[in-house]
């Protein structure tokens, strides 16, 4: 190395000392993220290979089985009438259908549900309202309590923001002529898909999970999970698996794997759709993502050791591992965001001849993950005959949202790993406000915000801080020619964190100013 002034020599020594630890951590994180990216390519391959295989019932029931429809609700005054009416409109013999409204409400909205239940009872529908004052187990506890009086051999479950179609049971029930079938899951569609950029992004995220992921796994012989709603269970499968348990925040995923370990088969029907509301504002979305992420890691801790040692096919174990641990990618992305600029900057300094190879390898691995996500989501949209070009235009939005919520979800992962217990926080439901009709064009900015007291404001400030830090790194990369290679990634990360952080703070402030709606205001005109 040529002779340098004393100060520069000290800096050079510090850079040389930092280069290898930073580069090793940087490449290690990217290798993990890239592995999950490669796995997405595998799912797309399985989807393309099996998508034309259509499972059909082996026969049809001569006498239809009795079905219990369970509607777990909690403070859902804006949507509870809609879901009760939709459940009562399901086409099925009246003497074979029971409906349970499992209402844990604490805000008085159970009065709305009770009035609607009374209305349908007077019309001869077998419907009951079970109101708990003790929320032990949250949703899982409500479902377990409902099983005590459930009359059905089959159990259909719908969350409050869903609107099951009238032909739901006609299109699903006959699959249970297979005595080994424990659960049928249908695909979610979206009532307010086009309401905003946020809802468009969420719709594509969920389409990837349902259209590609579920189809690929289910048709290739791997296991899938019940998604908590829009599904039909065999009551015996629930009982044999150990019933609803509430030691994780994703009781649906937990029960799914326990039931399949007990020998029950599952079936996914992508052509049967059940429309639902997408969270129309960012904090509701973050709350939902936090619960799903934390619950999945909790389920991984609980069941992966048992799954990996069980006498089941190797491919089932591999898919279960990737499925249950995939939320950990958010933690890896957060760490990668912190290391991206320092690692690139150290490796491209002229001191000691910068190491282009490490930067090139790192960027290549990151592109593997990025392009795999693009391929994954395009496949889900093409399967629904949606425009590939429009999907491509929305990919930067998807990337920004995915990166922006990474910190929120990384904290959820850490809470699950260390065993930090938090309550089950339901996703706020907006009802007709979230899905404007031709008569009521209500933009997202006009929403009457539902506060989420449990959502941590300090996470929002951290998100904004991460965005500002990465923005500063992007500006620095423009000034340092050697590090300009990192600019696109820094801008993408900064945009994602700032978008999520700033909009989240704005919603926080609006929520604090929002007056609490009364039960009378929540009740739509019947």
Task: Give the CA distances from residue 415 to residues 322, 324, 510, in Å, rounded to whole numbers and listed in that order.
Answer: 20, 16, 28
Q: Is there a contact between 497 and 463 (Cβ–Cβ < 8 Å)?
A: yes
Burial of 453 (0-12, 13-18, 19+ CB in 10 A): exposed
Q: Which of 3, 46, 11, 27 is nearest to 379 (CA)?
A: 46
Coil, strand or helix at 125: coil
Q: Which residue has the tokens 């309202």?
A: 129
Strand 231-234 and strand 181-190: pairing? antiparallel
Give dist(CA 222, CA 312) in Å, integer. Answer: 10
Active site annotation includes 252:
yes
Query: CA neighbours within 13 Å on the CB side: how many for 425?
Result: 23
Residue 123 makes CB contacts below 8 A (sequence gap 6+) with none
How many DSSP H helices and E strands does the chain contain?
Answer: 18, 7
Assess contact for 233 and 240: CB atoms under 8 A: no
Q: In 3-state terms, what secondary structure has residue 268?
A: strand
Query: Which of these, 85, 127, 86, 80, lies nearest to 108 by C-alpha position?
Result: 80
Structure tokens at 103: 């209402």
Bridge partner list, 512:
none
Q: Which entry of 104, 126, 161, 254 is annotated as an active-site residue?
A: 104
Structure-token match 């539902």, residue found? 450
Q: How many residues does the chain have?
A: 526
- Nearest 5 degrees, angle CA 38-CA 288-CA 271? 65
Name the E strands within 209-356: 231-234, 265-276
E strands in 132-198: 154-157, 181-190
Catalytic residues: 104, 252
């Amino acid at each position: 190395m040529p002779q340098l002034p004393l100060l520069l020599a000290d800096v050079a020594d510090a850079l040389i000392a930092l280069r290898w630890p930073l580069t090793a951590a940087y490449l290690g994180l990217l290798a993990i993220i890239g592995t999950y990216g490669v796995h997405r390519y595998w799912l797309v391959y399985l989807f393309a290979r099996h998508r034309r295989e259509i499972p059909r019932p082996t026969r049809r029931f001569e006498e239809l089985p009795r079905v219990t429809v369970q509607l777990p609700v909690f403070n859902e005054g804006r949507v509870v009438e809609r879901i009760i009416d939709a459940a009562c409109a399901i086409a099925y013999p009246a003497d074979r259908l029971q409906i349970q409204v499992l209402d844990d409400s604490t805000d008085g909205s159970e009065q709305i549900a009770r009035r609607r239940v009374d209305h349908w009872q007077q019309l001869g529908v077998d419907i009951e309202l079970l109101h708990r004052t003790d929320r032990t187990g949250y949703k899982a506890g409500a479902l377990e309590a409902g099983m005590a009086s459930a009359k059905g051999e089959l159990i259909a479950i719908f969350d409050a923001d869903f609107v099951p179609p009238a032909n739901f049971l006609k299109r699903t029930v006959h699959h249970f002529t297979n005595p080994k079938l424990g659960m049928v899951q249908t695909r979610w569609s979206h009532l307010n898909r086009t309401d905003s950029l946020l809802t468009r992004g969420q719709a594509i995220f969920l389409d990837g999970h349902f259209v590609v992921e579920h189809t690929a796994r289910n048709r290739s012989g791997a296991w899938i999970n019940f998604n908590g709603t829009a599904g039909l269970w065999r009551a015996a499968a629930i009982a044999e698996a150990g019933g609803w348990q509430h030691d994780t925040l994703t009781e649906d995923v937990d029960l799914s794997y326990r039931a399949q370990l007990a020998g029950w088969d599952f079936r996914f029907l992508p052509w049967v759709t059940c429309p639902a509301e997408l969270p129309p504002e960012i904090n509701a979305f973050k709350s939902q993502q936090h619960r799903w992420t934390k619950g999945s890691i909790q389920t991984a801790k609980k069941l992966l050791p048992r799954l990996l040692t069980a006498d089941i096919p190797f491919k089932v174990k591999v898919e279960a591992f990737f499925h249950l641990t995939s939320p950990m990618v958010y933690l890896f992305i957060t760490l990668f965001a912190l290391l991206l600029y320092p690692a690139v900057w150290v490796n491209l300094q002229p001191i000691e001849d910068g190491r282009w190879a490490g930067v090139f390898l790192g960027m290549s691995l990151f592109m593997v993950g990025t392009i795999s996500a693009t391929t994954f989501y395009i496949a889900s949209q093409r399967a629904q005959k949606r425009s590939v070009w429009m999907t491509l235009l929305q990919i930067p939005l998807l990337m920004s949202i995915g990166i922006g919520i990474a910190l929120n979800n990384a904290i959820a992962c850490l809470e699950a790993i260390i065993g930090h217990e938090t309550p089950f926080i339901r996703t706020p439901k907006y009802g007709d406000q979230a899905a404007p009709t031709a008569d009521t064009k209500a933009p997202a900015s006009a929403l009457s915000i539902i506060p989420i007291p449990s959502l941590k404001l300090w996470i929002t400030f951290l998100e904004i801080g991460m965005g500002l830090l990465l923005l500063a790194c992007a500006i620095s990369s423009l000034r340092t020619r050697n590090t300009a290679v990192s600019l696109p990634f820094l801008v993408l990360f900064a945009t994602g964190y700032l978008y999520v952080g700033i909009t989240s703070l704005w919603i926080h402030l609006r929520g604090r100013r929002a007056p609490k709606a009364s039960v009378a205001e929540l009740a739509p005109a019947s």
